[in-house]
Amino acid sequence: MKVLVTGANGYLGQGIVRKLLDDGVEVVATDFKVSHIDDRAGKIEADLFAVEDPYAFFGKPDAVIHLAWKDGFKHNSDAHLEELPKHCRFLKSLVAGGIKLVSVMGTMHEVGFFEGPISEDTPCNPENLYGIAKNALREFCLSLCRQNKVTLQWLRGFYIVGNTMYGDSIFSKITKAAMEGEKTFPFTSGKNQYDFLDYGDFCAQVAAAVEQKEVDGIINICSGQPESLSSRVERFIASNSYDIKLQYGSFPDRPYDSKAVWGDDSKIRMILEEQKRRK
In the set 130, 194, 199, 242, the catalytic residue is: 130
Integer Cα distance of 36 and 212 in angstroms: 27
Given a contact cutoff of 8 angstroms between Cβ atoms, the answer to whether 59 and 97 are in contact is: no
Residue 130 falls in the annotated catalytic set: yes
Cβ–Cβ contacts within 10 Å for residue 97, how many? 15
Given a contact cutoff of 8 angstroms between Cβ atoms, the answer to whether 141 and 84 are in contact is: no
What residues does 30 pair with on adjacent strands?
A: 6, 44
DSSP 21-74: HHTT-EEEEEES--TTS-TTSEEEE--GGG-S-HHHHTT--SEEEE---TTTT-
Integer Cα distance of 226 and 241 in angstroms: 24
Q: 140: part of which helix (H) or strand (E)? A: helix 129-148
Given a contact cutoff of 8 angstroms between Cβ atoms, the answer to whether 89 and 49 are in contact is: yes
Integer Cα distance of 249 and 187 in angstroms: 6
Integer Cα distance of 275 and 93 in angstroms: 31
Residue 239 identity: S
Closest CA to 200 of 150, 162, 164: 162
Point out the residues that are catalytic. 130
